[in-house]
Structure 1
Amino acid sequence: MAKPNKTGPSKTVDIFCKKCKTPLYKYRKGGKGALVKCFIERISQDYTEQEGVCPGCEQQFARRCLIRGVPALKIMGGKVHHK
């Protein structure tokens, strides 16, 4: 499988915790689908202290994994929303 484009899309989305509405990331997302994974290299601003844990409510919202050989965060269903 091909690796994702490093520069990625120029459009950014804001990712928030669904439970406490705390901002988590600014992410360069491609496409119109649901947010399933975040490639680490496409995160433009990171508001978290621990990777995959919300700083507001201490709830885990993602797990680190390798997708197509590239480090990424696999988002747990229903834990975040994006605008």
Structure 2
Amino acid sequence: MAKPNKKGPVRTVDIFCSKCRTQLYKYRKGGKGALVKCFIERISEDYTEEVATCPGCQQVFARQTLIRGTPALKMIGQKVYMK
């Protein structure tokens, strides 16, 4: 399997917690589909103190994993939304 692009896409999206509406990340997302995973190297701004845990309500919104050999966060359904 091929690794994801290092530079990545130019378009950034803001990722928020669904429960308390706290901003979690600014992320360089490719494509126009749903947010399923976040490659850690594509996160441009991180507003969380603990990995994959919302700073506002302490809800765990993702799991750390390796996708195609690259560290990523696999999002848990309906815990986050993006704008």
Does 2:39 match 1:39? yes
Distance 1:69 1:4 in 2: 9
Query: TM-score of the superposition, structure 1-length normalised?
Result: 0.99
Query: TM-score of the superposition, structure 2-length normalised?
Result: 0.99
What amino acid is aligned across from residue 46 of structure 2 in structure 1? Answer: D
What amino acid is aligned across from residue 32 of structure 2 in structure 1? Answer: K
Which ranges in structure 2 are unaligned for 5 or more consecutive residues? none
Distance 2:60 2:50 in 1: 9
What amino acid is aligned across from residue 80 of structure 1 in structure 2? Answer: V
Paired residue total: 83
Compute the displacement of 1:38 (Å).
0.2
1:30-69 paired onto structure 2 within 5 Å: 30-69=30-69
- Over the residues paired in the alignment, what is the CA RMSD in angstroms? 0.3
Structure 1 stretches of at least 4 aligned residues deviating more than 4 Å after TM superposition: none
Aligned to 1:4: 4
Which ranges in structure 1 are unaligned for 5 or more consecutive residues? none
Identity of aligned residues (%): 75
What amino acid is aligned across from residue 18 of structure 2 in structure 1? Answer: K
Over residues 4-51 of structure 1, what are the superposed CA-to-partner deviations in whole Å (9 max), with x where a residue is unaligned?
001000110000000000000000000000000000000000000000
Aligned to 2:18: 18
**Helix, strand or coil at the partner of 1:41:** helix
